[in-house]
Amino acid sequence: MTTQDTTPSIAEFVASLPHGMGHLNDKMGIELVELSAERVVATMPVAGNTQPYGLLHGGASVVLAESLGSIGAGLHGHPDRAPVGVDINATHHRSATSGTVTGTATAIHLGRTSASYEIVITDERGKRVCTARITCALVPLERVGL
């Protein structure tokens, strides 16, 4: 399993992925800021990720949370195992209507076959918008076709 000493740079990490950050993350404007198995931080614009009333879509927050937790789990399982999400939940605390939100995923369990993260999403004022938790199974690469 990976330690902080072997964590790649953000550019190296994204370049190593079969599909970069993935089309959905690209469309949503998710940008990595900090990267390790223990902590992953990224930003996402509110604009373009809203529901019909102009509020940040709750599903967009969940996409950000799942991306961060999966990235952390992937770093933890590297190079032998890949993350596969098995559970995610989210509580939406307040709305965001403009600016950028920041998601911070913090590891709460880094095991041999699973990894769990708490993800806190805040607005530009530092106010909590959403709290999510994800658990990923860490499966052998050949089981996910890699």
Annotated catalytic residue 66: yes
**What's the full length of the chain, in residues?**
146
CA atoms of 76 and 68, how far apart (whole Å)? 12
DSSP string, 72-90: HHHHHHTTTEEEEEEEEEE
Q: At 59, which amino acid appears?
A: G
Of the residues 12, 34, 38, 66, only one is catalytic, namely 66
CA atoms of 92 and 4, how far apart (whole Å)? 31
**Per-residue tokens: 21:** 């950050």
Phi, psi dihedral angles at 98 (to 5 degrees): -160, 175
CA atoms of 82 and 75, how far apart (whole Å)? 9
Residues assigned a catalytic role: 66
